[in-house]
Chain A
């Protein structure tokens, strides 16, 4: 026979003590222990090629920088590898269910990415002559039409760059409206205790005092407390609906009526609009202003923290005060109203350079066209169905904060089921990482002890929901069975073990600096 001499074992050896195994280099299998770019000796490298200019910058004299900047460079293959290696240390919606309540981590269609990159959108200058940007202006006009129709509101300001920026837009419009009516003395904004932190922060940012409104035992705004606190000093209330407990405010129409009767405006935080889009119009609820997070309801990607977009729909009462610019139809085409004059004489001003998050507008509009009104309605229904399914499946092992009645798009649990186990909400969340899931939103809303807020979204299949509920059920059983170390030491299997946030905050190191003893080829920039 022709004897092969390249035989080698093709079955694994005995497993050994693999759980305690560590590598010699700090790598974890394919996950490299990746250095910072500043540690790669790239002080004279570059990944670009330019023709060198003919002339120097001698005309600028001593305006020119002489000291080194302190920027390393990498060749293209090195840069590619560095960032791809880093990417592999991230969880992502494309990898598994990402149940961050209030954050709406849903699938991001790639068609939308492709559309935003069409040269006619991606390579369009904001100050290019408007005769050369008619398609962009028309897209903004159509997006505005969809947003107004879906919310039942007469006007929309597109320029706010994110949800919190939208809140700012709404409150500035409210402030301007009060001032126009001689009601500028109104200084208080009412906010439920369960509100997103951005609500009180925004109110304070524009100079309002914040008063909290109590919540009822069933997780809604306490009408009696609201009535008691509505006074001629109140400028607005800010209510999230569906609220941060994942519940629809049953008395929403009465809340609006009481607010208006007191001469105040109703700002609705629209972060959870995805639960009702296509089924409920906020305009029918008495809302005066509401921001819409395009990066939540209309699925523009979160990108590790942004960018977002936060258009604000406005009632007739507030529309005249909307920020510039906005798009109007002008004869055959469209134009931007950019100055505070004529039709924009009452605007409260400008919130951003240029016109807002066009790249997000394109993505959101593509998302709307893809879904249509039937698809959007199905989005809301499936989001609510998925959340109630999780609530039903996990209620036997965890304690829902509001067990009676359905939830909307997110299921909220408290930590009473962990009592006596020695496991906290934080530990439980970290153990979820070892099971391959991103933790839910923890300790928010503040009104529920040890809160665990789970938002699956409509883009999860039943199989993925079952896989998720199975994992959480096993974890809950383990916690109750006294397997405490599984939780308190978690995560064990993630790219990193639990990080020391105390050290980070006590001795902040916010930039890389050369080790004092090391010889650095490039001094860092002067102070």
Chain B
């Protein structure tokens, strides 16, 4: 699992990257009440908005950590947005991207680096 400074995580299996937000981010957001996931087939560049996650008082963009095409979205979050709070780094994933450039993945932080980064916040 790799991480971004915007608190997204990525798991890469073959050329498919699964993306979500970290436990730290989920706690900071508070109770998640709505998630807007992307349409399958949409292509995004690294840094583009990929999803929107909402708490009662805030709406936050989730950025694509890697460029790619959306091949699956976690539509179950529509009825159960609380999953993002309960299991942010597993069941609370937002979308799966088919990626072209694995180099973008390799450039992200590993768990240790991310934990160190959190310590600086």
Contact = CB atoms under 8 A, between A and B. Distances in A.
Chain A–chain B contact at Cβ < 8 A? yes
6 pairs of A and B residues whose beta carbons are closest in the complex: A505-B33, A502-B31, A501-B56, A506-B33, A505-B56, A502-B56
B72 interface: no
A56 to B, nearest CB: 47
A501 B33 CA distance: 9
Interface of A: 443, 501-502, 504-506
Given A505-B56, A506-B33, A506-B81, 4 more contacts: A443-B57, A502-B31, A502-B56, A505-B54
A165 B54 CA distance: 27
Contacts of A505: 33-34, 54, 56
A5 to B, nearest CB: 60
Nearest to B80: A506
Contacts of B56: 501-502, 504-505
B82 interface: yes
Main SS class of interface, B:
loop
Nearest to B54: A505
Interface centre among A443, A504, A505 (most CB of B within 10 A): A505
A504 B57 CA distance: 12
Contacts of A506: 31, 33-34, 81-82
Interface in B11-54: 31, 33-34, 54
Contacts of B57: 443
B contact residues, range: under 10
A504 B56 CA distance: 9
A502 B31 CA distance: 7
Contacts of B82: 506
A502 B34 CA distance: 10
A505 B55 CA distance: 8
Interface string B49-69: 000001011000000000000
A280 B81 CA distance: 51
Nearest to B34: A505
A502 B84 CA distance: 14
Interface in B58-116: 81-82
Contacts of B31: 502, 506
Of the listed residues A501, A502, A504, the one surrounded by the most CB atoms of chain B closer than 10 A to its CB is A502
Contacts of B81: 506
A501 B31 CA distance: 10
A504 B55 CA distance: 11
B84 to A, nearest CB: 11
A501 B57 CA distance: 9
A429 B17 CA distance: 44
B63 to A, nearest CB: 18
B110 to A, nearest CB: 32
Contacts of A502: 31, 33, 56
A238 to B, nearest CB: 21
15 contacts: A443-B57, A501-B56, A502-B31, A502-B33, A502-B56, A504-B56, A505-B33, A505-B34, A505-B54, A505-B56, A506-B31, A506-B33, A506-B34, A506-B81, A506-B82
Contacts of B34: 505-506
B37 to A, nearest CB: 16
A505 B53 CA distance: 13
B54 to A, nearest CB: 8
Contacts of A501: 56
A103 to B, nearest CB: 18
B32 to A, nearest CB: 8
A501 to B, nearest CB: 5
A505 B81 CA distance: 10
